[in-house]
Amino acid sequence: MSEETAEKTDTLLTPEQLALRWHMKAKTILNWCYAGKLPFAIHLGNQWRFNPIDVEKHERNQRVGKVAK
């Protein structure tokens, strides 16, 4: 495992960090989590977190879907 990959798996993103990355409000991210629209979201107690590797996979799949339309 490369250093970069190891670093990505050590740190989970918060809804606020994901919202900044996707240029939207954190509340939207949270709403999507509760609605089940982000299947890679991790629910820990009363908090949501996101593995950066899963986020990247989701982003790649979204880009591929947009090109195919």
Q: In the prediction, which pLDDT does 64 show?
A: 76
- Give one DSSP letter per residue of 5-62, joined into a string: HHHHHH-PBPHHHHHHHHTS-HHHHHHHHHHT--TT-EEETTEEEB-HHHHHHHHHHH
| pTM: predicted TM-score of the whole model, two decimal places | 0.76
Euclidean distance between the first and final Cα of the chain, in Å? Answer: 35
Q: How confident is the model at residue 65 (pLDDT cuts 50, 70, 90)?
A: low
Domain boundaries, the chain: 9-68
Q: How confident is the model at residue 14 (pLDDT cuts 50, 70, 90)?
A: very high
